[in-house]
Structures are given as structure tokens and as C-alpha cells.
């Protein structure tokens, strides 16, 4: 199965590339939420955070920070969201790990997360315990 971001990285598909290094490429999102909306991808294909080598993810985040500073300087935005989605339930539509760099302006309503869960301290403690147990096997 083809991957459109692998095609962009290999120059088999067109994109407006703004930055490239040994491990990553940054290019304009084809359907920007705001002017300047940029995507950062690792050159090595991995679908998502569940699959990617953490070092590749770290390289992508280094590039995302660099791009965020450039986007802020270029567009004079008030803020920048750096985010990425994993799995269709999280809104992922292209299954090659990518980080969005999205300029934001005070008062814009382009991205608003709505809280669907209300936790007390005991709930936080239980959730923390579940995550600590799940982290252990990874370390
Ligand atoms: P996701 O929803 O998976 O986090 O984000 C995928 C992003 O990739 C979307 O914002 C979409 O506009 C962008 N996208 C999808 N196909 C292409 C493409 O062929 N070229 C570029 N430059 N961006 C794409
Ligand atoms: Zn790919």
C-alpha cells in the first residue's frame, strides 16, 4: 500500500517543502487550517506513536520546534499549536507519523478541545497507577 508522505519525502509526489535534514522533512499542509500550517515527518515510515522509534519521534519534535519558531517569525501569529494524532479515533487520516505546526491567533476558534470527563483526586490517583504500571514494561 502506498504512503503519500513517503512519496513526498522521495519527491515522487509534489509538496512545498520548507525544511529537510537527515531524519526529517517539513512541508506545507495541503488543506491548511490557517495560513502557515506546516507538517513535520520522519523520513523513516512509521504509522503512529505506537509504532515509531522514539528517537525518530524526538528528531521530528526537534524539527517541529524549529518550524514553530520560523512560522511565528514569518506570520506574526500570537501562538502555535504543535500536535499530532494517533489512530482514527484521535482524528488521524494519514498513517505516516506527522506533527502539525499550526499558527494561532488570539480569539480564533479553529481548534477547541471539549472536556468529556470530570475527575476527582482519587480518579487521578487511579489513572496514574494504571499508567505507571504500563510504563514499567517499556523501561
Ligand atoms: P491528520 O488528520 O492525519 O493528523 O493530518 C493529516 C494532514 O495531512 C491533514 O491536515 C491533511 O490536510 C494533510 N494532507 C493529506 N494529504 C496530503 C498531501 O497529499 N499533501 C500534503 N501536503 N498534505 C496532505
Ligand atoms: Zn510513509
| Ordered strands of the 24-28 beta sheet | 17-20, 24-28, 38-42, 99-104, 79-83
Ligand 1 pocket: which of 17, 30, 52 to mutate (most atoms within 8 A of CB): 30
Query: Is the Cβ–Cβ distance between 100 and 29 less than 8 Å?
Result: yes
Domain assignment of residue 80, given as a range: 4-113
Q: Ligand 2 mean position to 112 CA, how many Å?
A: 28
Q: How many CB atoms lie within 10 A of CB 28?
A: 15
Let me know if residue 124 belongs to a domain. no
Let me know if residue 121 belongs to a domain. no
Report the number of distinct structural domains present in the chain: 1
Query: Is the Cβ–Cβ distance between 101 and 68 less than 8 Å?
Result: yes
What does pLDDT average to in each consecutive run of 10 residues of the chain (139 residues)?
A: 95 98 98 97 98 98 98 98 98 98 95 91 97 89
CATH of the domain at 19: 3.30.428.10
Amino acid at each position: 500500500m502506498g504512503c503519500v508522505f513517503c512519496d513526498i519525502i522521495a519527491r515522487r509526489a509534489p509538496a512545498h517543502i520548507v525544511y529537510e535534514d537527515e531524519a526529517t522533512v517539513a512541508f506545507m499542509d495541503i488543506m491548511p487550517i490557517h495560513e502557515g500550517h506546516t507538517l513535520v515527518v520522519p523520513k523513516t515510515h512509521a504509522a503512529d506513536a505506537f509504532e515509531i522509534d522514539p528517537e525518530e519521534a524526538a528528531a521530528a519534535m526537534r524539527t517541529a520546534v524549529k518550524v514553530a519558531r520560523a512560522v511565528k517569525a514569518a506570520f506574526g501569529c500570537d501562538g502555535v499549536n504543535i500536535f499530532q494524532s494517533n489512530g482514527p479515533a484521535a482524528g488521524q487520516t494519514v498513517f505516516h507519523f506527522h506533527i502539525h505546526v499550526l499558527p494561532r491567533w488570539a480569539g480564533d476558534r479553529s481548534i477547541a478541545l471539549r472536556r468529556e470527563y470530570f475527575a476527582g483526586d482519587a480518579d487521578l490517583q487511579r489513572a496514574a497507577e494504571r499508567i505507571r504500571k504500563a510504563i514499567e514494561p517499556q523501561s
